[in-house]
Amino acid sequence: MRLYDVDLSSRLLLGTAQYPSPQVLTDAVQASGSEVLTVSLRRETAAGSGAGFWDMLRQTGARILPNTAGCHTVQDAVTTAQMAREIFDTPWIKLEVIGHGDTLQPDVFALVETARILSEDGFQVFPYTTEDLVVAERLVEAGCEVLMPWGAPIGSGQGLRNPDGLRAMRAHFPEVPLIVDAGIGRPSDAAEAMELGMDAVLLNTAVAKAGDPVAMARAMDLAIRAGRAGFEAQPMEPRDMAVPSTPVLGLAELM
């Protein structure tokens, strides 16, 4: 999988919030095989962990994808992205511009505007968006080379609420990397996303809040691998009628 100018082996992007301890986070990252970790600049600063937290993430060897979590305006998101670039020394930014407080649904109008500003400033933008095709077109026009449609509201664990929309998105953007971001609750949800042809899955809460985060990280990795393999194997289409797997011709006749 190639995201902007980076080739990756793992199709699992992992968040770093809400883990029981730094050691559990480190072990979960290792178990998941993830090569990309998302980090909220606000959360990392507010936690007071500072350089220690950053050093811990660096030791995992994973690439950092800072995000603008908690931003509700264009200016707020732009400022946060610029600060993240200075701190983490990367042009990558996961762009979140939240428009609805209860569902954490993105403000797609502000999202497109912010994506254009950041792209023109040299950022490589990973926009958290809906599965709306028109919005996706505008984001691509704004300079985004990756799209990150939600599966369900952030942290809800509801799985894929609109698989048909994601399927349509895959068909409409055959060459654009698509990463399902938010809503994944179980390994089966991640496998379903991959079977639809998504390129990767980004998740956090499903692992961090599991009874055993390390085991769940490993399960998510396996599910994503299985889902991708299933997609590449070109699964059969569903049928309305039963079709016998044993041929009728040649059966013995009982007299």
Summarised one tens digit per residue, pLDDT across range 53-90 is: 777 888 888 999 999 998 999 999 999 999 999 988 99
pLDDT recorded at residue 179: 98
94 is catalytic: yes
pLDDT recorded at residue 43: 52
pLDDT recorded at residue 41: 78
Find residue 3's DSSP bridge partners: 6
Please determine, for residue 232, whether its predicted confidence score (pLDDT) is greater than 50. Answer: yes
How is the chain split into domains, by residue range?
2-233
Average pLDDT for 113-119: 97
pLDDT recorded at residue 129: 96
Active-site annotation holder among 85, 94, 218, 228: 94
CATH superfamily of 2-233: Aldolase class I (3.20.20.70)
- The mean pLDDT of the chain is 91
What is the torsional sign of CA 167, 173, 174, 175?
A: negative
Would you list which residues are annotated within the binding site? 155, 182-183, 204-205
Question: pTM here?
Answer: 0.89
Would you list which residues are annotated within the binding site for 1-deoxy-D-xylulose 5-phosphate? 155, 182-183, 204-205
pLDDT recorded at residue 101: 78
